[in-house]
Structure 1
Amino acid sequence: MRYATLHGLLAAATLAASAAATADTTLRMSHFWPAGSAVNQEIFKAWAERVTEDSDGRLKVEIYPSQTLSKADRTYDAAVDGIADVAITLQGYTAGRFPLTEIVQLPGISNSASQGACIVQTLFDEGDIAEEYADTHVLFLFTTGPAYLHTTDTAIRTPADLEGLRIRRPSDVAGEMLSSMGARPLGLPAPDIYTSLQRGVMDGLSFPWEAMKVFRINELTNHHLQVPYYSGAIVATMNQDAYDELPADLKAVIDDNRGMHWARTAGRVFDRLDREGREEALAQGDSLDEIDDPLNDPDWAPPLKEGTQRYLERLDDRGVEGARDVYAKALALRSRCP
Structure 2
Amino acid sequence: MSIRVKASVLPLLITVAMGMSACSQSGQTEQPEQVTNTKSSAADATILRFSHFWPATSAMQTEVFEPWAKKLETESNGLLKVEIYPSATLSKPDVTYDSAAKGTIDIGAQAHGYTAGRFPLTQIAELPGLSNSAVQMSCMLQTLYDNGTIASEYEDTHLLFLMGAGPSALHTVDKVIRVPEDMKGMRIRRPSAIAGDIIEASGGSPVGLPAPDIYTSLQRGVIDGLSFPWQPTGDFRITELTNAHTNIPFYNSALLVTMNKDRYEALSDDLKKIIDDNSGRVMADIAGEMTDREDSKFMEEARAKGDVMVDIPDPLNDPDWKGPLTEGTQKYLSDVRALGLDADSVYEKVKVASAACKV
Cross-structure match for 1:295: 316
Secondary structure of the 1:207 match is strand
Cross-structure match for 1:99: 120
1:144 counterpart = 2:150: no
Measured on the aligned residues, the alpha-carbon RMSD in Å equals 1.4
2:351 alignment partner AA: L
Cross-structure match for 1:220: 241
How far did 1:211 drift? Answer: 1.1
Cross-structure match for 1:312: 333
Q: d(CA) in 2 for partners of 1:230 and 1:71?
A: 24
Cross-structure match for 2:28: none
1:337 alignment partner AA: C
Question: After the TM superposition, which residues 10-49 of structure 1 pair with which residues of structure 2 at under 5 Å, given as runs?
Answer: 23-49=44-70
1:330 counterpart = 2:356: no
Question: After the TM superposition, which residues 167-182 of structure 1 pair with which residues of structure 2 at under 5 Å, given as runs?
Answer: 167-182=188-203
Secondary structure of the 1:295 match is helix
Cα deviation per residue 1:111-164 (whole Å; 9 max; x = unaligned)? 000000000000000000000000000000011001110101210000000001
1:79 counterpart = 2:100: yes
Q: d(CA) in 2 for partners of 1:335 and 1:176?
A: 25
How far did 1:60 drift? Answer: 0.2
8 A Cα contact 1:114 1:268, kept in partner? yes
Secondary structure of the 1:218 match is helix
How far did 1:212 drift? Answer: 1.2
Secondary structure of the 2:141 match is helix
Which of the two has higher C-alpha Rg? 2
How far did 1:172 drift? Answer: 1.2
Cα deviation per residue 1:198-221 (whole Å; 9 max; x = unaligned)? 111111000001111111101100
1:70 counterpart = 2:91: yes
2:326 alignment partner AA: K
Unaligned stretches of 5+ residues in structure 1: 1-17
How far did 1:334 drift? Answer: 2.4
Q: d(CA) in 2 for partners of 1:142 and 1:223?
A: 27
Q: d(CA) in 1 for partners of 2:242 and 2:208?
A: 18
Cα deviation per residue 1:73-113 (whole Å; 9 max; x = unaligned)? 01111101111101000010110010000011110110000
Q: d(CA) in 2 for partners of 1:335 and 1:86?
A: 31
Cross-structure match for 1:8: none
Cross-structure match for 1:114: 135
Q: d(CA) in 1 for partners of 2:114 and 2:212?
A: 13
Question: After the TM superposition, which residues 51-70 of structure 1 pair with which residues of structure 2 at under 5 Å, given as runs?
Answer: 51-70=72-91
TM-score by length of 2: 0.87
Secondary structure of the 2:310 match is strand
Cα deviation per residue 1:22-70 (whole Å; 9 max; x = unaligned)? 8210000000000111111111111111111111110000000001000
Cross-structure match for 2:279: 258
8 A Cα contact 1:140 1:236, kept in partner? yes
Secondary structure of the 1:236 match is strand
Q: d(CA) in 1 for partners of 2:88 and 2:140?
A: 28
Q: d(CA) in 2 for partners of 1:334 and 1:316?
A: 21
Cross-structure match for 1:205: 226
1:111 alignment partner AA: N
Q: d(CA) in 2 for partners of 1:130 and 1:179?
A: 30
Unaligned stretches of 5+ residues in structure 2: 1-36
Q: d(CA) in 2 for partners of 1:208 and 1:178?
A: 15
Q: d(CA) in 2 for partners of 1:126 and 1:302?
A: 33
How far did 1:330 drift? Answer: 1.3
Q: d(CA) in 1 for partners of 2:68 and 2:223?
A: 36
8 A Cα contact 1:153 1:203, kept in partner? no
8 A Cα contact 1:32 1:66, kept in partner? yes
Displacement over 3 Å in runs of 4+: none
Count of aligned pairs between the two proteins:
320
Cross-structure match for 2:3: none
